[in-house]
Structure formats: C-alpha cells, structure tokens
Structure 1
Amino acid sequence: MVMDSTDRFDKSPLLDGGSSSQENSTEYTGDGSVCTSGHPASRKHTGNWKASSLTIVCSFCCYLAYSSIGKNLVSYLTKVLDETNLDAARHVATWQGTSYLAPLVGAFVADSYLGKYRTALISCTIFIMGMMMLLLSAALPLISAGPHAWTLWADPISSRYIIFLVGLYMVGLGYGAQSPCVTSFGADQFDDTNEMEKTRKSSFFNWHYFSINAGSLIAGTVIVWVQEHEGWLWGFTISTLFVTLGISVFFLGSIVYRFQKPGGSPLARIWQVVVAASRNFDKVLPCDSSALYEFSGQGSAIEGSRKLEHTSGLEFFDKAAILTLPDCESPGQLNKWKICTVTQVEELKILIRMFPIWSAMVLFAAVQEQMFSTFVEQGMTMEKHVGSFEIPTASFQSIDTLTVIMLVPIYERVLVPVIRKFTGRANGISSPQRIGIGLCFSMLSMVLAALVESNRLQIAQSEGLVHSKVTVPMSILWQGPQYFLLGVAEVFSNIGLTEFFYDESPDAMRSLGMAFSLLNISAGNYLSSFILSLVPVFTARGGSPGWIPDNLNEGHLDRFYLMMAGLSLLNIFVFVFYARRYNCKKAS
C-alpha cells in the first residue's frame, strides 16, 4: 500500500481526525471533514450557511478595504505622489497583478501544510500590517511638519513614498494570499456527499461574489468620497477598521467550522508523476486501463481526495501508473517516484487540460483592468458635475458594481430556472458557456469605450482644447454603458471561472484551483502593464505624443480601446476552440 503523503505533516487536533464509521452516518459529514477538536464534523452543528456566511463577511470586509485602495490608486499616485498618467497606470497594473499572484503562495501553503483556516489568519494579519503602513504614510506629512516635528525623517517625501509602496505591496500580498483560502474554506462548509448541501455550495459562489461587490460598492462611493473630501488618512483608517472586523468575525466562528486535512505537497505529487512516467517512457501501456495501479482502499491514497477515474488522452503520463512484476511482489514498499496511482496521474492531466481555458481568460482580465486605469484617466478629462454635485472619478466604477449586485440575484433566481427548462442542467448552462458569454460582453465594453473617447476627442477639437490639459465639456455619465457591460461580463465570466476551477480541480488541490482562477487576473494585469509600456514605443514617434500622453486631449485613447476589442474578438475564438475540446474530470 502506498504511504499517505500527509504522514510527514504535523498532526494537530485542528487538522487531524481519525477515520470513523460514524462519518458515513447521517449525523456526520461524509467528506472526511473534522471539527475544531479534530473529531468527525457534525452535520447539524457545523458547516452549512451558519459557517460559510462568516467567511462571506470576512471576504466582504477584506475586499472593501482592498477595493478602496485599488479604485482610487491612480488618483493618489498622480495627485499626491505626482506620478505621470502612464507611470500611474503601469504601477496600478503591476500592483494588482502582484495581488493576484500572491494567491498561489497562500493556496500552496494551505493545501500542503497549514490548511486553509490557519493560512487565512496569517495572511489577514499581513493585510492589517500593510494597512497600518498606509496609515503611517498618510500621516507622515503631519508628523514631519510643525514645531514638534519628528527629526527621524531626513527626507519626508522619499520616506513617505517608500513607506507607501511597502505597505501597498503588503496589502496586496496579504489580501491575495487569503483570498483563495477563505473562498474555498467557505465552500468546504458544504458536504459534497449530501445532495442538498451540494446544491447550496453552488449558490455559495454567487452570493460570495455578490458580497464582495457590495463591499466594492461601499468602497467606490463612501470610502472614495472620504478619501477625496476628508483626506486619505481618514480613508485608510476606515479601511483598516473593516479588515480588523473581518478577521475578528472569521476567527470567532472557529467552533462551527468544518476543516479539511491538507493533502500534502501538490508540487511533489506532480513531479512524482513526471519522473515516474519518464522512467517508464519505453514501456507499453496495457490495453485495459484497469490494469494501471490504483490504491486498493475505499478512498484515495491522497488525504482529503476522492479517487479519479482514468480518462483518455495525455497517455504519456499514464505510464507513471504501470505495474511491474516487482511492484506486485512488494506492494508495501512502492516508491512514489517510480509508480503513481491513477488518481495522482489524473490530477496532473486535469491541470494540463485546464491550462488552455485559463490562458484564454488572461486577456479578459487585461480588459477588466482598464476599469481601474485608463477608464479613470478618461473620466478625469470629462465633466464630473451633475448639477451642483461633483462625482469623484473613481466612484463612477460603482456602476460596474451595481450591475453585478443587481444581476447576481436575477441570474440565480430568474435566468437559471428559465434556462434549466431548455437545457435540463441544474445550473442552467455549463461553466465554459457562462465564461464565453462574459467574454463577448467584455469585448463590447471596449468597443463602447472607444466610441465614447472618439466623441470626446471630437468635442475637444471643436472647442479648441486639444493642446490644453483641461476637462472637456462632455459628461462623465457617458462612461456608464462601458462600466455596465463590464459588470455583465463579470457576472458571467468571473463567477463561471470560479465555479469551473473549484469543480474541476482535484479535491486536494481546491485552494490551488481557486488561486489559478485568480492568477489569470494577475497575468492579465501584467499583460495590460506590458501593453501600456509598448504603446508609447510604437505610437510616440516623430513628434507625435502617442495614444496615451499626459494630456489625453492630444492622444488617441480610442485607438487603444479598439485594439483591445480586436484582441478580445480573437481571444473568443481561441476560448471556444479549447472549451469545446475540454474533458471534465470523473470522480468515483
């Protein structure tokens, strides 16, 4: 019998729980989850909505704080730290990319060693420390001025910039690392072996996304208004308090949580398959796949994972599960670097098959990132007054958020039941179909943004404002439809992608699955940053200011949006090509 990979790890009460016949009874969960004391989790007293709702509150508070920074970061960088439009857009894209790269770190630690709960607590602590740094950065001008100024700061401007950047990236690291852990931990509160709880888990993702967008709405309206009118010190203070509230609620709910044991290092299992398959590259696969090696017990050899059925395709990796005569004679001494189970092989094959779907979503994330950079810069050049009220540019992003908040209940309560009558699917449409619809809406958003910018440039020319860095007499309300379409795209693609990666990921890699669903956002932000870096190289020549100069009245931001729309159309064809050929996992 293959040694369980988790034998190497610490067996604390939170993570350890012996197998029991009670786990299969109706009183206890059937997915191997345990309570905080390490005993089988009670179906009645743990998990379900009473537990997952606490993770939703934590996500709401954390995203509110994170979003309050991201939505108005361009304004802070340009107005407070005096960066150029291009540098600010590049910094925003890089920071957000880093924020969505951090989930890989958090997910790996959670799935391999500490579990999702502990990893989330540590990450949230880093988040709070980062917010404290931002608070110090905002307070530095008060500390370094006046008769009682601190002499510690030899160069207050440079010190403020360094403290801000350190705090900013600590916020990105802390938020990013906790995100996949809290989300997948919330989904773990529903037992896959119970049909009723399994249905609730599907709804969890919709309402989780609904809650973080509610936090985004408050951040984009109330918090951004406070930042612009009462000062950044007050804005950062409110955000810090929300993070503290979120982690407190998450911690206080420990007694009602269900915990899944970490399944050991996913990277080790992946490399074991690669090495074992390479060792057996000259061996012939058996005609009957049942002759391949699999753990003989009821469950999988991987802690916290069900067995996966063998699938066709990627046959090279199947060679890692070829049984030889010496293996059959000494089954208790099998070397995992020489032979792997079918389930372990299928884990790697699942990841390989998901990669094309993931890669097709990178450009979608790059389009979404424009909402936080070029959309804001475009809005800063437009008339922001509606009567006597001035709309903060970043607050206009609340249209996207309101769209999500309105459409999520409509989607779950109206669209899904209607579509279900025609498709016969419990969720109405499949996750890949949902993602594809969102891709189409994101492309339309870029087309609309180009039309708005083209009209704005025409007004600037007719008013003689081309060479003046001033606002153009065109209402910012014209930006509304492009934000609306991005909101519709989110409801379809973002939630669809989250469902897809949670459902299709191997059981012992679900935190990593959630991290990969966020990693495409990181890659998209880096792609956006890369594209923005290339724009002046190819467009600012021969005295031309380029497409995105400091004075947008002299540029052609509309051409940039049209280019993104064209790339989005090409991306839709790529996505459809791979989605139609994707084989879903088969868990026994």
Structure 2
Amino acid sequence: MTAKASPKSGLDVEEARATSFPSSKQGGWITFPFITGSLLALVIALSGATSNLIVYLIEQYNVKSIDAAQISNIVNGCSSAAPVLGAIVSDSYFGCFAVVAVSTFVALLSLILFTLSATLPSLRPSPCAPGSNTCQAASTPQLAVLYAAVALMCVAAGGTRFTMATMGADQFDTALEQDTFFNWYFVALYAGSVAGATVLVYVEDSVSWGWGFGACTAASAVGFVVLLLGTRHYRRPRPGGSPFTGLIQVVVAAARKWKVTGDQQADYYHGPGLLHGLPPPTGSFRCLNRAAVKTEGDTNSDGSVAKPWRLCTVKQVEDLKTILRILPLWSTSIFLSVSIGIQGSLTVLQALTVDRSLGPRFSVPAGSLMVTTLVATALSLSLLDRCFFPAWRKLVREKNPTPLQRVGLGHVLNAVAMAASALVERRRMRAVRTHHLAAGSPGSVVPMSVLWLLPPLLVVGVGEAMHFPGQVALYYQEFPAALRSSATGMIALIVALGFYLSTAVIDLVRKVTDWLPDDVSTSKLDRMYWLLAAGGMLNFGAYLVCASVYKYRSVPEEVGSKEEIPGRVVG
C-alpha cells in the first residue's frame, strides 16, 4: 500500500518506511562489514580524542583537575545528546545514510582542528612552571579553536553513534537478525573505544599530542571511506515526514475533544475505508482515546481526515501510548549514566595520584584507565551471544532473557560497582595517611598500584553489556517503525542526561560538603561512591516497580514475527 498522506500530516509514516526499500538485493549481512568497519574506525578516532580530554585540559590548557572533569562531563553530555537530534532528522527528513555520511565527514573536520591545536604552539597557553600554582589561562582565540573542535565532534556523534545502529538494523528483516546485529554492533563500538583509549592515548601521552591526534584524524578518514564503499549495498528507507507531528496531533485533538466520549467501535476512526472489524483503542491512557472519536465534520466524503488536528487514527493514539508507557522504564536508566559519568571522571583523577608503572619502562596513561570498562563490555557481549544465551536456552528451555531482565541485572551490577569503588578509594586514602603524603605536593605518588582501580570498572563493563544492548533492543522492538531511529536515540539521551546530571551532582556535593576539594589527596571520594551505591539500589527498586507493570507492545512469537500482542505482562 502506498502512503497517500502528506508527510507533514504524520499519517502513514510507517507504511511509507516499510515500502521504501529499493531492491531486495540490498541489505542483509553483506552490509555488515561496511557499517561496522566504518563504526570501528570512527569510534577509534573519537575515543582517542575524548578519553584523554581531562588530561589534555590539565596539561595543555592549565585547567584545574575538578574543573577539567566537569568540562569533560559536559562535553560527553553534549556528544551524547546530539544523537537524539540526529535521530529526529534522519527519521523525518534525510534518512539514516545521509545523516551518517555527513556526520562522519564532520568528525574528520573536528579531528583536524584537534590536531592543529596540539601541533601549533600559538593555539595553546604557555606551559605551567614546575611547582607553580599560578598558570597562564588560555586566550579567547585559543579557546575558540578548542571549542570549535569540540562542537564539531558533538555534531559528528549526533549523526553516527546511534543513527548508525538504526541504519544497520534496517538492513535485516527478522528480530533474531536484528538482535544479533545489535550485539555485534556494540562489540565493534566497545572494541573501537578500547583501541582508541589505549593505543592512541598512549601515543598522546608518550610520544606527542600532535602525533596522537594526527592518528585520530587518519582513523576518521578511513571510517569515512569504508562507509562510502558500501553505498550500493545499503537499504535506504525513505523518511515519511516527521512522525512527531502525528503524536502532537493526538494530544491536541484529545484536548479539543475533552467532553467527547466514544463507547462503540464505530465511533473510532481507523483510517479511510477501515470501519469494521478493528478493535477500539486500549484502556490505558483513556483520555487520549478521544482524539480518535469521530464527530461531525471531522472526515471528508471519501472517509479521509478533514481536520487532522481534531481527528487522529487509532494507530496514532496507540503509538503515543506506547511511548508514554515506556517513559517510566526509560527514566530509571538515567541514574545508571549519572553514576557511570561520576565514576569515570573521578577514577581518572584517582589514577593521576597512584603508582601507574607496570614494569621499568611502561606507565599506564590515566586517560586509558576507562578502557577497562570497554574491554569488559566487549568481552561480555561476545560471551553473552556465544555462551550465556545458548546455555540459557538449554537450561531454562526458553528464549533469551528478555530486554527487561537484562536491564534489571545491569542495574544491580552498577550499584555493586559503585560500592567496590568506595572500598578501593578507602584503601587509597589509607595509603595516603599511612605515608603522610603532603597535600598538593608536586609529583607525590600514592604507594598503591593503579591495578586496584580496575575491578570496579570491570563490574561496570559487565553491567553495561547487560543494560545498554537490552535497552536498545527494547526500544527498537516496542517503538513504532517510523520512530526506530528515535528509539535507539533514547539511549543517547539517557547518556547525555547522565553526564549533565553528574556535573550537577558534583557541583551540589562540592557546595554542601567537603568531599571533593581540588586536591584529591585530601578528598573523601569514598563517601561520594557510597552515595551512588545507595542511590543505585533505590533506583533499582523503582525499576522493578515499572518493569512489573509494563506490557510489551509487540512480542515476536517466532523468529521474524511482527505480530502485536498487547496486554502481555512482564513479570
């Protein structure tokens, strides 16, 4: 069926998307090497730039430690929020491929600016004198170049990170293939992050910042070329106009008909010529059902909608209800990103104070420490797909754990990781007091191996392997087809809000407590971690309540099935 409605009306967007694949020869696993290869190179490049941003600001731009951590969280928040806009643009106007291609090129421009800032002395302030407490601040032109590079990097993340996931999922027809793609997509995502946060960060720390950022630029160029090489193989669903227009129309129509009731099936509008044999709207969010109640003058003689801001289809109403039902579950995942963001930035500051030497000639870069989480996530995803899920199916004789079950386990592991970080920090501070290290002494090193900081990061990585892919699968499965890019973009919004809120939480803690001074050798970071652990368990309780009452919109009974089964309660 060809969609006849105007794209601006928001009607029939799903049908337009479903019938827009140009050729049956396109799509499938032949696209996998190009999509994941491009992703791998791009993530290596961006990870090499962002993983060491805190150290770059401290060493090259003379920024204080806690301030550098805050700036890094804000940058991470912006680069995580941008994919939401990228998803909306791809769903509504240009499609996934065009948005991904342009954003990949923008990433290349961003890394060129980073390379220039690292190689041209005029683009950085003068280095701090050893032991000096007064350092020259960066000038306005110097900051302008840095901010431009960061802004372009955020734009690049907006059109690649999760829009590329939707682009890949669009190449497959069955739920099993899509779920397998998502797992390996995240393997590539984390593997690229590992490579960038180790190899390239090591080059930046041990060779030079210029060579490090130059390598990031080269990796970005490779990713752009690989993406273009697969152009002829990609399916490119045509966007059918903004799907959000139809959702807004439901709210407006329901508000305009707040006195109207629809008690019989014939009172509800399903579309032109669809009058009999179709069920009425579901009972949840009953007030929105008014938007689909037909009143005099709402339709034309041929049955089409005469007043789209006064009458909507039952399908539009149910699409909005789907989003509203999933929002409570989505909101409980924000705290996961808050704790991960705070732990990540504080762990880098901890790493700068401890003994990072592994042997006589190698020292672990502080910015590379977060690679532990990435390695744990990548390995866990591989083991889940190849070992854990097959064993689950044999032992329990059921399908894989549901997305809700995976996300719930991720909540528990995240809280455990925060408690572990608190215990490790208590040990670090005990070493500081035992050896009477002078606060703020230049070059003073806590006699404690950097390896003690790794176990909490490993637990966080395993937790991410459970909850992030679980959320992507849940949103992609539950959201209407026209909102699939926006569905995967919901993860980006979670991460963005987590980084923004982590900055706000740190600011609040600094104002009301003495836990986070500029010198981490006099800090009380363990109390911060205990606070996150307690908040994580309370948040997990809220998640259990939301998950226990959630009803799946669509549950594939067989591989590739797209049958909708409303009302199935997930325990």
- Do these two structures clear the TM 0.5 threshold for a shared fold by scoring above it? yes
Matches of 1:297 and 1:128 in 2, distance apart? 51
Q: Hey, what does 1:32 align to over in structure 2?
A: 19
Q: Residue 72 in 1 paired to residue 46 in 2?
A: no
What's the CA shift string for 1:122-149, capped at 9, x where partnerless? 222222222122122112207899xxxx
1:345 — aligned with what?
317
Residue 304 of structure 1 is matched in structure 2 by none
> Is contact 2:117-2:124 (8 Å) kept?
no
Amino acid in structure 1 at the alignment position of 2:525: L
Aligned-partner residue type, residue 235 of structure 1 = G
Match of 1:259 among 228, 236, 239: 236
Query: Does residue 197 of structure 2 align to residue 223 of structure 1?
Result: no
Unaligned runs of 5+ in 2: 126-136, 555-562, 565-571
| Higher mean displacement: 398-407 or 274-283 | 398-407
Aligned to 2:401: 429
Contact 1:466 1:554 (8 Å CA) reproduced: no
Task: Map Cα deviations across residues 86-127 of structure 1 (whole Å, 9 max, x no partner).
Answer: 111110111111111111211111111111111112222222
**Alignment-mate amino acid for residue 437 of structure 2:** L
Q: 2:336 aligns with which of 360, 364, 367?
A: 364
Question: Do 2:271 and 2:304's aligned partners in 1 also have CA atoms closer than 8 Å?
Answer: no
Q: Which residue of 2 aligns with 1:172?
A: 154
**What secondary structure does 2:304 align onto?**
helix
Show the counterpart of 1:97: 77
Matches within 5 A, 1:148-547: 157-191=139-173, 197-288=174-265, 291-296=267-272, 310-327=281-298, 330=301, 331-388=303-360, 389-426=362-399, 428-465=400-437, 467-469=439-441, 470-539=444-513, 546-547=514-515
1:560 and 2:542 correspond: no
Q: Which runs of 4+ in 1 moved over 6 A?
A: 142-145
Contact 1:314 1:349 in 2 (8 A): yes
CA, structure 1 residues 172+321, in 2 after alignment: closer, same or farther (shift >3 Å)?
same
Aligned-residue offset at 1:557: 0.7
Instruction: Report the RMSD for the aligned CA atoms in angstroms.
Output: 2.5
Q: CA 1:144/1:323 → structure 2, altered by over 3 Å: closer, same or farther?
A: closer
Asked whether 1:60 is paired with 2:60, we answer: no
Q: Render the CA deviation track for 1:503-550: whole Å, top value 9, x for unaligned.
A: 1111001111111121000000011000111122111xxxxxx21222
SS at match of 2:447: strand
Change (3 A) 1:509 1:554: same
The answer to whether the Cα contact below 8 Å between 2:44 and 2:195 also exists between their aligned partners in 1 is yes
The Cα shift of 1:424 comes to 4.7
1:191-224 per-position Cα deviation (integer Å, ceiling 9, x unaligned): 2xxxxx4321110000000001111111121001
The verdict on how the C-alpha distance between 1:143 and 1:464 changes in structure 2, with shifts beyond 3 A counting, is closer
Shift of 1:422: 5.0
- Residue in 1 aligned with 2:6? 5
Verify the 8 A CA contact 1:447 1:561 in the aligned structure 2.
yes
**Distance of 1:486 and 1:440 partners within structure 2:** 10
Answer with 111-120 or 175-184: which moved more. 175-184
**Structure 1 residue 297: Cα displacement:** 7.2
Give the corresponding residue for 1:137.
117
Contact residue 169 and residue 181 of structure 2 kept, 8 A:
yes
- Structure 2 Cα separation of the partners of residues 271 and 143 of structure 1: 47
Q: State the alpha-carbon separation in 2 of the partners of residues 365 and 547 from structure 1.
A: 21
Contact 1:501 1:513 in 2 (8 A): yes
Q: Distance in 1 between matches of 2:497 and 2:321?
A: 22
Q: Residue 23 of structure 1 corresponds to which residue in structure 2?
A: none
CA drift of 1:180 comes to 2.5
Residue number among 522, 529, 537 corresponding to 1:569 in the alignment: 537
Q: Is the 8 A contact 1:452 1:478 kept in 2?
A: yes
Equivalent position of 1:22 in the other structure = none
User: For 1:61 and 1:215, how far apart are their aligned partners in 2?
Assistant: 7
Matches of 1:297 and 1:456 in 2, distance apart? 72
Residues in 1 aligned to 2:343 and 2:244: alpha-carbon distance in whole angstroms: 35
Does structure 1 conserve the Cα–Cα contact (< 8 Å) formed by 2:253 and 2:291? yes
Task: Write the distance in 2 (CA, Å) between the matches of 1:329 and 1:236.
Answer: 61
- Rounded to whole Å, the distance in 1 between the matches of 2:545 and 2:449 is 41
Instruction: Answer whether contact 2:8 2:242 (CA < 8 A) is retained.
Output: no
| Alignment-mate amino acid for residue 168 of structure 1 | V
Q: In structure 1, the residue corresponding to 2:309 is in which secondary structure?
A: coil
Equivalent runs, 1:45-56 vs 2, <5 Å: 45-56=25-36
- Residue matched to 1:302: none
Contact 1:81 1:161 in 2 (8 A): no
Q: Amino acid of the residue matched to residue 563 of structure 1?
A: L
Please, which moves more after superposition, 411-420 or 211-220? 411-420
Amino acid at match of 1:252: L
Structure 1 residue 244: Cα displacement: 1.6
Q: Which moved more, 1:550-559 or 1:323-332?
A: 323-332
Q: Which one-letter code corresponds to 2:526 in the other structure?
A: D
- Distance in 1 (alpha carbons) for counterparts of 2:140 and 2:311: 57
**Matching residue's letter, 1:6:** P
CA distance in 2, matches of 1:77, 1:133: 15
| Structure 2 counterpart SS, 1:332 | coil
- Residues 58, 425 of structure 1: alpha-carbon distance in 2 compared, 3 angstrom cutoff: farther
Amino acid at match of 2:28: N
Please say if residues 141 and 156 of structure 1, whose CA atoms lie closer than 8 Å, have aligned partners that are also in contact.
no
CA distance in 1, matches of 2:199, 2:417: 26
The alpha carbon displacement at 1:366 in A equals 1.1
Using the size of structure 2 for normalisation, the TM-score is 0.88
Contact 1:228 1:392 survives alignment (8 Å): yes
Q: Is the 8 A contact 2:61 2:124 kept in 1?
A: no
After superposition, the Cα gap between the structure-2 partners of 1:312 and 1:2, relative to the gap in structure 1 and judged at 3 Å, is farther
Distance in 2 between residues matched to 1:187 and 1:379, nearest whole Å: 38
* Cα contact 1:371–1:397 (8 A) shared by 2: no
Q: Which whole-Å CA distance do the structure 2 matches of 1:70 and 1:367 have between them?
A: 19
| 8 A contact 2:299–2:307 mirrored in 1 | no
User: Against the structure 1 CA distance between its residues 508 and 423, is the aligned structure 2 distance closer, same or farther, given a 3 Å change threshold?
Assistant: farther
- Identical-residue share of aligned pairs (%): 29
Q: Residue 557 of structure 2 corresponds to which residue in structure 1? A: none
Cα shift at 1:265: 1.1
Separation in 2, partners of 1:321, 1:529: 43
Alignment TM-score, normalising by the size of structure 1: 0.86
Aligned residues, how many? 534
Q: Which deviates more, 215-224 or 309-318?
A: 309-318
Task: Rate the CA distance shift 1:355–1:246 in 2: closer, same or farther, 3 A.
Answer: same
In 1: Cα distance, 2:42 partner to 2:271 partner: 41
Which deviates more from structure 2 when the two are superposed, residues 273-282 or residues 245-254?
245-254
| Paired residues of 1:407 and 1:491 also in contact (CA < 8 A) | yes
Give SS of 1:474's match: strand
Residues 308 and 346, structure 1, Cα contact 8 Å, conserved in 2: no
Deviation at 1:274, TM superposition (A): 0.7
